[in-house]
A and B are shown apart, each in its own frame.
Chain A
Amino acid sequence: MTFSVSAPAFEGPLGLLLDLAEKGKIELTAISVSSITADYLERVSVMSDLEPDELSDFLRLGSRLLYIKSLALLPREAADEQAEELQRLTLELAEYRRYQQAARTLSGRLGAQTWNRSAVTKLPTEELPMPDLSLTILQEAFSRALKRAVPLAGGSTLDQELTQDEVMGRLKQRIETGGFALSEVLDAIIDRYEIILTFMALLELLKSGEAIVAQTGQFGPIMIEAAHARA
């Protein structure tokens, strides 16, 4: 999520380029692009911890810089194109910079906040450990789902034996991608065995503290979320 570069974490390729330009106190012109390109590529080359996706964003800007630089070597017709490309990049950079500055202003405002009454009402549900009541609700939800589910046809064989690890893996993935409503998962399952496995896996996740159960209102949907999402 954050880049571990030796320098401060950059917002991305534009952030890096802007930083280089500001440090060198240079304006982006045809001449400065050639010098800044080398700096830029050098910095990118030491970013070893980048995810391929992130790296590709950095490389894309790198190739744009190289392209602009290369246009300078070509005969005169390329001059217009170079000016155009350069102008486009400069505009993007200027636009990006506006939001970068706005972000700093907003950062400075964090802390002096306003509060409304929901701050008082929200606190207990978020800060307290899961009350026993939630477990009961959870159990009831599963009982309902079990009743609805098709019982295993007498001793029939499943095409594919489902393991608890598989179910657990699935749940973890859903939790990591933003959590889910319990009913959503249960409604999708029609097999009793799978419902039981899901219930067991969920209890495991709650026990290990990876997941938490939340309910917004008294009869609201039961939500399963990643514990760290609430941190």
Chain B
Amino acid sequence: MPELSDRLMALLFIAAEPVDIASLAIALETTAEAVSGGLDGLASQLEGGPLRLSRHHDRYCLVTATEHSDDVRRLLQAEAKTELSRPAMETLAIIAYRGPVTKASIDALRGVASDTMLRNLRQRGLIVEQGTADEPGRPQLYAVSHTFLQQVGLTSLDQLPPLPGPESQTNEA
């Protein structure tokens, strides 16, 4: 029997979309704990190679490392993504760091209504609706998508560069 991490790699190579641990456990006829451990092993095994293990909302997939970004783009003849406007990027940053987050919280932080930005980002598949907040009116919560992680070349949300500290003063720049 091959190593668990190799078996996981084979499955993730085949899967076109990110897969959750439960599905992997069923396919490998083992427990979720074993899969979880195997995935950790796979992640470290991949370090330094051309592939990475990407995790988002407890779904996993294999991705190419960022240094191969341009090669892949040329192979797929994919156009470089159009740049996002500053307001859109800002809304996205808030959702990435604060998510899942309500529209009201985003509006409060930006000091401006964010409806257009949210629609724009959703249409681009960069954010997804993720449940509702446990507060009056049960407002919709927004979170960044797997597509977002891939666009910014990260393999999990833990890798987001740290948010600049709140202590930075306005006259520092």
Residues on A lying within 8 angstroms of B by beta carbon are 1-2, 8-9, 11-15, 18, 21-22, 25-28, 53-54, 57, 61, 90, 92-107, 109-121, 123, 177-178, 229
Binds A, one of B24-32, B33-41, B110-118: B110-118
Contacts of B61 in A (CB 8 A): 116-118
Query: Contact at A96–B63, with CB atoms within 8 Å?
Result: no
Contacts of B52 in A (CB 8 A): 114
Contacts of A95 in B (CB 8 A): 109, 166
Contact mask B142-173 → A, CB, 8 Å, 1/0? 00000001111111000001011110111101
Query: Contact at B111–A117, with CB atoms within 8 Å?
Result: no
Give the residues from 61 to 114 in chain B that come closer than 8 angstroms, CB to CB, to chain A.
61-69, 72, 76, 78, 80-81, 83-87, 89-90, 92-94, 96-97, 109-113
Contacts of B112 in A (CB 8 A): 11-14, 54, 57
Contact A2:B173 (CB < 8 A) given known A98-B166, A99-B90: no
Query: Contact at A111–B72, with CB atoms within 8 Å?
Result: no
CA distance A120 to B155 in the complex (A): 18
Contacts of B165 in A (CB 8 A): 98
Residues on B lying within 8 angstroms of A by beta carbon are 13, 15-18, 52, 54, 61-69, 72, 76, 78, 80-81, 83-87, 89-90, 92-94, 96-97, 109-113, 116-117, 119-120, 122-123, 149-155, 161, 163-166, 168-171, 173
CA distance A53 to B115 in the complex (A): 11
Query: Contact at B69–A57, with CB atoms within 8 Å?
Result: no
Contact A14:B110 (CB < 8 A) given known A9-B85, A102-B163, A103-B90: yes
CA distance A120 to B89 in the complex (A): 26
Q: Tell me, rounded to whole Å, the shortest Cβ–Cβ distance linking B141 to chain A.
A: 17
Contact A113:B164 (CB < 8 A) given known A12-B87, A119-B76: no
Query: Contact at A100–B166, with CB atoms within 8 Å?
Result: no
A114's partner among B66, B84, B85 (CB-CB below 8 A) is B66
Contacts of A96 in B (CB 8 A): 109-111
Closest B residue by C-beta to A64: B111
Query: Contact at B111–A61, with CB atoms within 8 Å?
Result: yes
Query: Contact at B170–A94, with CB atoms within 8 Å?
Result: yes
Closest B residue by C-beta to A13: B111
Q: Tell me, rounded to whole Å, the shortest Cβ–Cβ distance linking A150 to chain B.
A: 35
Contacts of A113 in B (CB 8 A): 66, 69, 150-153
Query: Contact at A112–B170, with CB atoms within 8 Å?
Result: no
With contacts A11-B90, A18-B170 known, what are 17 further pairs, Cβ within 8 A?
A1-B116, A1-B120, A11-B87, A22-B170, A26-B170, A92-B111, A96-B109, A99-B90, A99-B94, A107-B89, A110-B83, A114-B54, A115-B64, A115-B68, A117-B13, A177-B119, A229-B123
